[in-house]
Amino acid sequence: MRNHARIGFVLLLTPLVLWLSLLIIIPHIDMLLISLRERISFGVYDTSLAQYEKALTEPLYLRTFWRTAIMSILATGITLLIAFPVAYYIAKMAKGRLQQVLFLLCLIPFYVSELVRTFGWMILLRETGLISNLLQWVGLADQPVEMLYNDSAMMVGLVYTSMLFMVVPLVTTLESLDDSVIEAGYDLGGNGLSVLREIIIPHAMPGIVSGSIVVFMLSLGNYLTPTMLGGKDSLWFTEMIYNQFIVRSNWELGATFGFMLLLLSSVIVWGMLRLTGRTLQETMG
């Protein structure tokens, strides 16, 4: 029996170890090694920090890096602000059937490819698009308005794409908040604002953290939305990775960019977990 358990354990452990080592750990180590080398001549490489030096001194690279970081944080904040009242409405105000229907409605866009969602915004926002025509019809504009290819269009797309990943964890945590706790807050003389600040938001914190982490990751790693909705000046860091790898075939610099993106996302995720005193297992698992 003891031996049996041992065999079972090994059989169950093998796929996990193979998966994690061959597809996650070793590829990332390899990527790190590639980013640490410099091409001397054809087929001859030297170990150096040259790629990182290049990445950190070239203004375009650095600017794009920080822009991507700040815009992603902004997108996360906006998504949270828009989603919170809706999640609260679904969790606490709506009852029974309405609640289920609203929740399902939030899930629908997730079942549709990101490409389709982005395409929808292109149809809406472009010069010959619906909103431009609507503005002309109402009389607010006397010629076609181009609303595509700028930062705001990109922001609309980013927020839309990740909305679900904020709403769902928020609804889940808010649902677990007992109505009587809120009532008690009012009975003790609290008003709407203080109840929100002292009771509702602290209770929703786990949902806020896990939603924010996922939304931030999705924005940071997004390629489609910045490419399709953003303009010439809204370069995104993922686009630079793609360019180095596929267009320029400069894998060394591309791997460096990849590592910088990974580092940035790890630091922010770690910081958010640290700030709220939670662990990755609690938040994601």
Partner 1 sequence: MIPTIPQSRSFRLIYGGYVLMFFLYLALPLTVVAVFAFNDSQFPSLPWEGFTWNWFFGAEAPQIGVFHERGILRAVGTSVFVAACVAVLSVSVGTTNAFLFNRYDFRGKTVLYVLMLLPLVIPGIVLGISILVFSSTLANGIWDVAQMDIQALRPGLLLVVLGQFSFITTIATLVISARLQKFDRTLEEAALNLGATRLTAVRTITIPFLMPAIIGAVVVAFLMSFENFNTTLMLVGSDAPLTIAMFDRLKEGSTPLLNAVSLLLMLGSSLLALAMILFQRR
Footprint on residues 169-188 left by partner 1 (CB under 8 A)? 179, 182-183, 186
Q: Which is nearer to partner 1, 4 or 233 (CB)?
A: 4
Q: Would you give the end-to-end CA distance of the chain in angstroms? A: 32
Those residues with Cβ within 8 angstroms of residue 245's Cβ, 6 or more apart along the chain or in another chain: 251, 254
Q: Which is nearer to partner 1, 62 or 123 (CB)?
A: 123
**Residue numbers 123-142 binding partner 1 by CB under 8 A:** 123-124, 126, 128-130, 133
Q: Measured between alpha carbons, how far is residue 213 from residues 37, 68, 169, 227, 238 in Å? A: 32, 15, 11, 22, 18
CA 249 vs. chain centroid, Å, equals 27
DSSP state, residue 47: E
Q: Binding partner 1 by CB under 8 A: which of 99, 243, 265, 276?
A: 265
Q: Which stretch binds partner 1 (CB under 8 A): 44-52, 53-61, 145-153, 243-251?
A: 243-251
Question: Should residue 282 be labelled a site residue for partner 1 when binding is judged by CB under 8 A?
Answer: no
Query: Residue 257 corresponds to which tokens in the numbers above?
Result: 């960019």
Q: Binding partner 1 by CB under 8 A: which of 170, 171, 213, 253?
A: 213
Query: Residue 236 corresponds to which tokens in the numbers above?
Result: 């995104």
Burial of 209 (0-12, 13-18, 19+ CB in 10 A): buried
61 contacts 240 by C-beta, under 8 angstroms: yes
Question: Should residue 93 be labelled a site residue for partner 1 when binding is judged by CB under 8 A?
Answer: yes
156 contacts 229 by C-beta, under 8 angstroms: yes
**Residue numbers 36-65 binding partner 1 by CB under 8 A:** none
Place of tokens 């828009």: 82
Q: Binding partner 1 by CB under 8 A: which of 228, 229, 235, 253?
A: 228
Question: Should residue 209 be labelled a site residue for partner 1 when binding is judged by CB under 8 A?
Answer: no
Q: Which stretch binds partner 1 (CB under 8 A): 57-65, 73-81, 111-119, 146-154?
A: 111-119
For the CB of residue 64, give the shortest distance to partner 1 in the complex, in Å: 14
3-state class (DSSP) for residue 209: helix
Place of tokens 């610099």: 253
Question: Should residue 281 be labelled a site residue for partner 1 when binding is judged by CB under 8 A?
Answer: yes
Question: Should residue 28 be labelled a site residue for partner 1 when binding is judged by CB under 8 A?
Answer: yes
For the CB of residue 56, give the shortest distance to partner 1 in the complex, in Å: 18
Between CA 158 and CA 170 the distance in angstroms is: 19
Question: Should residue 66 be labelled a site residue for partner 1 when binding is judged by CB under 8 A?
Answer: no
Which H helix or E strand runs over 39?
strand 37-41
For the CB of residue 126, give the shortest distance to partner 1 in the complex, in Å: 7
For the CB of residue 57, give the shortest distance to partner 1 in the complex, in Å: 22
Size of the site for partner 1 (CB under 8 A): 88
Q: Which stretch binds partner 1 (CB under 8 A): 1-9, 51-59, 147-155, 201-209?
A: 1-9
Counts for the chain of helices (H) and strands (E), in that order: 15, 2
Question: Should residue 205 be labelled a site residue for partner 1 when binding is judged by CB under 8 A?
Answer: no
